Amino acid sequence: MRKFIACAVFILGSCWIAAGALSANLDRVIAIVNDDAITFSDYVSYFSIRQLETGETTISGGQPLVIDKGQLESLIDQRLQVQEALRRGLNVTESELDIAVRNISLRNGLTEEQLLKRLALHNITKAEFTQSMGEQILIQKVVNGQVARFVRVSDQEIEQFVRSYPDLFEVDVSYELSHLQIAIGDADAEQANARREYLHLIRDRILSGQKLEEAMATPTPGFDDMDFEYLGWRNRSLIPDQIIAEIEAAGPESATDVLEVSNTLHLFVIHARQGDEIVVTQKRLRQILIDSGRKSITEPEALDLAWEIRMKIQSGEDFSSLARKFSDDLVSAAEGGDIGWVNPDDLDPELAQSISDLGVNELSEPVSTLYGYFLVEVLETRIRNILQDVIRGRARDMIFDRKANSQFNSWIARIRSESYIEIVGVN
C-alpha cells in the first residue's frame, strides 16, 4: 500500500496552503467522522496535495470554489484510518518522524536544511509538515497490520502472470550484427551448393570460437558476388520476426543458421547483445535489530544497547549468538542474523547509505531507521545480472497491489459501516 505515503513526497514542490494562512470562515465544519470534525481548511489542504499527486494545477493563493464529493470521501477515508490506528494503540515516535524526514530529503536530493527552506517558501512550518508525515506513518502502520500482512503471492502466481502478460515485461534488447549474403538465383545446382557450403564453413568457424575476420580469411571458392555488411547495433523491434527468431536461438557471440530467402543465402553473425541485463553488486549481510518498542525501553537505551553489542562483536564474541539473543527481527535472528544476498535498492535508504562503503567482514555502527537500530556486517559481495529478479519482483508487486487493494476496499468499507459519518452543508 505504498500509495498512502506518496503525498508526503509531493509536498516538496507544492503551493500547499497552510491552515493558518486561511481566513476564519474556512474553518467551518463540512463533515463529522465519529468524534472528529473535518473543516473546510482541512479539505483545502488535502485538495491541494491530491492535485500534486495527480499532476494537476495546484492551488496558488486561492481555494476550490466547490467541494468535490469524491475528494471529500477520500479525506474521510484518511481520517478513518488515522482513527483506527490510534484506536489500536499505534503511535509515531520522534525518531520515526526524523527518519521519515531524512528519507524524503534523500529521495529529493536535499539536505534537511534545504528541505525546511523549501517548505518555508510555501508557508509550511516544520510542525505542519511533521504532523502530515505522522498521519501518513500511522496510516502505513495500520494498513500494513490490518491489510498488507495478510496478502500472499505465490511463485506459481508470479510465473503465470509473467507468461500471461509478456508485453508488460518486454525489455529493450539490441544486437550488434554483421550480415553475409550470396545470391544463388543464377547459379546451377553445383554452384549453389558450393556457396551454401562456404557460408556453413564460415558459420562453423565462428561457432568454434574464431572471429569473423578469421573465419572469412579463406577466399571465396570460385565466386566473388558475396556481399558483406557490418550492421552495427540494431534494436530488436527493427529486425524482421523470422530473423530475430534465428538470432535469439543462436545467442550472443554466435551465428544463425544459413537462411535461404528469395534465391539468396543469408548468414547473420551476432557479435554482442545488450539491454537485457541489470548488473549490480550484491552483498550478503547479517544483522541485529534493536527495537525499543519490542524491548519496552527508551530510544537512548536502545542506542546504548546497540553500541554495547557492537563492542562485544569487536571483542570477539560470536555475531550469530548475539543475534539470536538480542535481535528483534525474529526471522533473521533464527538464522544468526543472516539475511542472505541483497541488492542495493532492497534496503532502507539510511541503511543502504551507511553500509555502502563497508568491505567484507566489516561491521557498521548502529544505524537509525524506522524499525529501530541496526548493526550490519558484510559477509560477501558478488556481481549479478538481476534482470529476471526485477521482472519477477515487478510481477509480484502488481499481483500484490491488486490483492491488497481488494482487501483494503473491503476493510475500509467495514470501518465505514461501523462509524458515524455526517456530511454537513455540502450539496
Mean pLDDT of 397-419: 95
pLDDT of residue 56 exceeding 60: no
How distant, in Å, are the alpha carbons of 52, 82, 125, 205, 370 from that of 131?
Answer: 18, 12, 10, 70, 16
Q: What is the b/e burial string over 50-64, where b = at least 16 CB atoms within 10 angstroms of the residue's CB? A: bbbeeeeebbeeeee
- Report the distance separating Cα 144 and Cα 141, nearest Å: 5
pLDDT reported for residue 2:
36
Is the domain defined by 172-274 classed in CATH 3.40.50.970?
no
Domain covering 2-151, topology? Triger factor/SurA peptide-binding fold (1.10.4030)
Q: Given this model, what pLDDT does residue 12 score? A: 37
Q: How confident is the model at residue 61 (pLDDT cuts 50, 70, 90)?
A: very low
Residue 410: pLDDT band (50, 70, 90) is very high
C-alpha to C-alpha distances, 199 to 92, 204, 231, 260, nearest whole angstrom: 72, 9, 18, 11
d(CA 184, CA 188): 8
pLDDT of residue 80: 96
Q: State the cell numbers at 288.
A: 541485529
Q: Are 379 and 285 in contact (CB under 8 A)?
A: yes
pLDDT at 171: 77
Question: What does pTM read for this prediction?
Answer: 0.56
Give residue limits of the domains in the chain: 2-151, 172-274, 279-384
Topology alike, domains 2-151 and 172-274:
no
Sheet holding 367-369, edge to edge: 338-342, 279-290, 372-385, 367-369
Measured at the CA of 349, the angle between CA 343 and CA 352, to 5 degrees, comes to: 50
Model confidence pLDDT, tens digit, residues 10-50: 333 333 333 343 444 557 899 999 999 998 888 877 776 56
pLDDT at 265: 92
Q: How confident is the model at residue 97 (pLDDT cuts 50, 70, 90)?
A: confident
Grid-cell match 466547490, residue found: 66
For the ranges 82-86, 164-168, 299-303, 313-317, the lowest mean pLDDT is seen at: 164-168
Quote helix, strand, coil % in the chain, to nearest 5: 50, 20, 30
Residues 134 and 97 sit within 8 Å (Cβ to Cβ): yes
pLDDT for the residue numbered 350: 77
- What angle separates helix 112-121 from helix 94-107, to the nearest 10 degrees? 90
Rg (CA), the chain: 31
Cβ contact 9:108 at 8 Å: yes
Residue 373's φ and ψ, nearest 5 degrees, are: -100, 130
Would you give the distance in Å from CA 227 to the centre of its chain? 47
Q: What is the pLDDT of residues 260-302, one digit of tens each?
A: 888 899 999 999 888 877 888 899 999 999 988 788 888 899 9
Pick the CATH number of 279-384 from 3.30.70.1140, 3.40.50.300, 3.10.50.40, 3.90.550.10: 3.10.50.40
